[in-house]
Chains A and B, each alone.
Chain A
Amino acid sequence: MKDMPQRYVYAYAVTRDCAAVAGALETVTGVAAEPVGGVRHLGLMALAGRVPAAEYDEGALSERLEDLPWLEGVARAHQRVVDAVTAAGPCVLPLRLATVFHDEAGVRAMLEDRGQQLRSALDRLDGRTEWGVKVYAPEPTAAPRPPAPRATTSGRDYLRRRAAERHAHQEGERRAGEAARGIHTTLAALAEETRLYPPQNPALSRHPGRNVLNAAYLVPWDSAPHFTSAVTGLAEHAPGDGLRVELTGPWAPYSFVTPDTP
């Protein structure tokens, strides 16, 4: 019987084969606290580390992906590796979480099979990073669960009051949506591409307020100062509309690895 391998190879991202990547990897550790190195093939490099096979085989993975503290640890470590190389400058194509191979030969086969697609994405995204912008509106105050009508209030008065509250609530939402759309339009003009995400749950993001815009912008390095100061300007203006603007980044171009197909 063939022995099970003790280690699999977890691939984080693909870059062009260059010295800056190797340098950036020296201090970073991966999802299993393992050192991360480059698997080089045909001018490409997969950032990869050896992880315990028992934790990353099919059965274990499908169970552990639902283990939320485990998922958080892996997601953060995955992002840490991608971040470390992005900060060093080279274009990084992040792979989706838990892309796992039996060995380095499997990684090289992938680089060969997908080489054309990977190179074309690296060309398209070189010198660009992703910025995230979220806009928050105040929590709705007019649409909470309605209190039970008091005995002194007629059913009709109660329903009328509810209708007025609802109207105020809808007006607030309309204004927040309009302002968020204006912010997106302004920033989209400064970006090469944009992607819209579903709104985030406030409990998960730990931010107060309702997320009314959650967008990603692909911005060339040269334009980044312009873009970030535009966001800062919008953020300063936003409280006038009752909104809060938050900027994250620069991220590796996660949202843009697939070309926009209108």
Chain B
Amino acid sequence: MNEHRAPVSYADNGPANLADILERVLDKGVVIAGDIRINLLDIELLTIKLRLIVVSVDKAKEMGIDWWENDPALSSGARSNSHGTPRIRESDDERRELRERRELREEERRGEPR
């Protein structure tokens, strides 16, 4: 049928980066329970577990494996907006911004001549 017409690889950046591969092989693809039953639940939990071990494993920190923190399914900190573009700002920034805005308002109120 369509054989031999598959598009050629567009690998101008060398081998695919680990993040591209992990987000596909761990999180996508056909989910089938093999005979080794643990793997389904395990991989469901893996994304969460990796967030936890990232604290204790230097190698993980080097690799920066915490992109799962941005997973809307796992975190309320980075939900996509209605247009589907991921939100950028992090909740720490939001908290700091709110605090500083409040402080500025107070400073200005205090500085105003009566």
A, B co-complexed: yes
Residues of A with Cβ closer than 8 Å to B?
Answer: 8, 11, 14, 20, 56-58, 61-62, 65-66, 68-69, 71-72, 75-76, 78-79, 86-90, 93-102, 106, 110, 114, 118, 121, 126-127, 129, 131-132, 137, 143, 155-156, 159-160, 162-163, 166, 173, 176-177, 180-181, 184, 196-207, 210, 212-214, 221-222, 224-225, 228, 246-251, 254-255, 257
B13 near A246 (CB under 8 angstroms)? yes
Interface pair A66/B20, CB less than 8 Å apart: no
Chain A residues, Cβ within 8 Å of B49: 65-66
Cross-chain contact A200 with B107 (CB below 8 angstroms): no
The closest CB in chain B to the CB of A140 belongs to B88
Pull 24 A–B residue pairs with CB atoms less than 8 Å apart, ordered by A.
Answer: A14-B30, A58-B38, A75-B21, A76-B15, A87-B9, A96-B29, A99-B32, A126-B2, A127-B2, A137-B88, A156-B107, A159-B103, A160-B104, A166-B97, A181-B83, A181-B85, A198-B71, A198-B72, A199-B88, A203-B62, A204-B65, A205-B20, A247-B10, A254-B28
Whether B7 contacts A76 by the Cβ 8 Å rule is no
The docked-state distance in angstroms from the alpha carbon of A99 to that of B26 is: 11
Q: How far is the CA of A199 from the CA of B29 in the complex (A)?
A: 19
Q: Tell whether, in the assembled complex, residue A250 and residue B18 are in contact, meaning their CB atoms are under 8 Å apart.
A: no
A-side contacts of B86, CB under 8 Å: 196, 198-199, 212-214
A224-B67 in contact given A114-B32, A257-B29 (Cβ < 8 Å):
no
**Size range of the chain B interface in the assembly:** 35 or more
Contacting residues, chain B, for A206 (C-beta < 8 A): 17
Report B13-35 residues with CB < 8 Å from chain A CB.
Answer: 13, 15-26, 28-32, 34-35
Contact A100 B88 (CB under 8 A): no
The answer to whether B29 and A94 have CB atoms under 8 Å apart is yes
- Shortest distance in angstroms between B100's beta carbon and chain A's nearest beta carbon? 6
- Report whether A163 and B108 are in contact in the complex, using a CB–CB cutoff of 8 Å: no
Task: Check A89–B5 contact: CB distance below 8 A.
Answer: yes
A249 near B26: Cβ-Cβ < 8 Å: no
Give Cα A104–Cα B23 distance, bound, in whole angstroms: 28
Q: How far is the CB of A95 from chain B (nearest CB, A)?
A: 5
CA distance A223 to B39 in the complex (A): 37
Q: Which of A8, A155, A200 is within 8 Å of B67, CB to CB?
A: A200
Once the chains are docked, how many angstroms separate the CA of A66 from the CA of B93? Answer: 30
Q: Which 10 A-B pairs give the minimum distances between C-beta atoms?
A: A203-B64, A224-B7, A201-B67, A198-B70, A89-B3, A58-B38, A94-B29, A254-B28, A159-B104, A254-B24
